[in-house]
Amino acid sequence: MAEEECGHECGNCSKEGCKDRDMHEQLHAGSSVKKVIAVISGKGGVGKSMVTSLLAAKVHRDGYRSAILDADITGPSIPTAFGLQEERAEGGSMAGPDGKHSEYIKPVTSAGGVQIMSMNFLLPHETDPVIWRGPVISGAVRQFWGDVVWDNVDFMFVDCPPGTGDVPLTVFQSIPIDGIVVVASPQQLVRVIVEKAVNMANMMKVPILGLIENMSYVKCPDCGKELRIFGENNIDGIAKDFGLEVLARLPIEQKMSVAVDNGEVETLDEGYIDRAAQAVESLIKKV
């Protein structure tokens, strides 16, 4: 089967040797990305974009070059967290090693130095809706990987939309993912939600670095007691059942919410995410 004839419908393909072929999109000739971490969840509303932003900012503070590929095409929130709502991506044409020119897009760089590509950077106005069907959205994700010039990135974080549909599948099939961080919240259905995400990762044969529980507790400002407003959770038991590690427990905290809403996520350094950042950074041995 010729490359141009491939419909990427691997489950229905009977071509000998096809399923063993590398289906990953190629990076732009001017790009360099060492490790890619997908941040996923089994449902929406668990704070996945905030976790992605905190991880990218922390890893960058630790001396690595970090980037975010915002794969949540129809509901991007990463630009807001970094205060980049008014920014728009620039592009051009670049000569590759073979002398041929190819089009490219430049990511937007945050105040702290994190490279970011999001759909909002390509829209005339950030509030313009993206009313696209799945295949077109998946194509945009592939372009964010292959047409954007990523400048010497050590760790790229891919903020996936919730669930196990078209876009997360495109991310796993099109981008060489080195590890996954699963984000959950302490509600009743957390086990089912985590299990869906974990099973998808296992089916795609991508290692899971661990779990992050967001909205884990509220700390009383007077006595410091941790209040479990969603009730007692069983995140440790779930992690043990799947052979995973709980990398972080993030509280419901006004300071974090205000910082994200005001585009100041890079100013947050509360230590909640440090262990998760260490798990990511262990993928590269710093010299």
The predicted-structure confidence for 157-198, as pLDDT tens digits, reads as follows 999 988 767 888 888 889 999 999 999 888 656 778 788 888
The predicted-structure confidence for 65-121, as pLDDT tens digits, reads as follows 999 999 998 888 999 999 999 888 887 665 555 555 567 899 999 999 999 999 999
Fill in the DSSP letter of residue 251: -
Q: What does each C-alpha distance from 215 to 17, 148, 169, 233, 252 come to in angstroms?
A: 46, 34, 27, 11, 5
Output the CA angle 173-120-248, nearest 5 degrees.
60
Residue found under tokens 């372009």: 143
Reading the block at residue 15, the tokens are: 């071509």
Find out whether 160 and 48 touch, Cβ atoms under 8 Å: yes
H or E element that contains 50 = helix 48-61
